[in-house]
Homo-oligomer: A and B are copies of this chain.
């Protein structure tokens, strides 16, 4: 499936915001841009869309910055894609032509598999995994 760079950028930055989660510090655009190697001029747009989509919160002025709006496990990759690249899921295939309906049906099945998987993965899954409980003999 063809994914835009924009979606990748958004996910990387959200993963980075996930690392800030729990602390009271807010993340700054420049820091996010540097840590995740995203052009900061472009990141401005992406963060705006994520905020308008309710995925992140922001604060202006000095001491300003960004933070996740919910727990990392409460934000799925599907949620992010819907905000950043809505056309990914909304464009249903045409039913034109004699075979249009059956083709559309099959393509929708493939799209459903894509969508289902995207809903199963959360921002938490993009964050470095804490070492699990260790058992010593």
Interface 1/0 per residue, A1-45 and B, CB below 8 Å: 111010010011001100000000000000000011110000000
Q: How many residues of A contact B (CB 8 A)?
A: 42
Say yes or no: is A103 at the interface (Cβ < 8 Å to chain B).
Answer: yes
Q: Which of A110-137 contact B (CB under 8 A)?
A: 110-111, 113-114, 116-118, 121, 125-128
C-alpha spacing A92/B93, complex, angstroms:
24
Q: Within 8 Å CB of A15, what residues of B?
A: 98-99, 102-103
Contact of A38 among B3, B97, B107 (CB under 8 A): B97
Give the CA-CA distance A89 to B1 in the complex, in Å: 6
Q: A77-B106, A114-B113 are in contact. Are A100 and B12 (CB under 8 A)?
A: yes
Q: Which one, B5, B37, B106, B111, contacts A1 given CB within 8 A?
A: B111
Q: Is the CB of B2 within 8 A of A87?
A: yes
User: Looking across the interface, which residue of chain B has its beta carbon closest to that of A106?
Assistant: B121
Given contacts A2-B87, A77-B106, 7 further A-B contacts (CB under 8 A): A3-B93, A99-B127, A102-B127, A106-B121, A106-B125, A110-B114, A113-B114
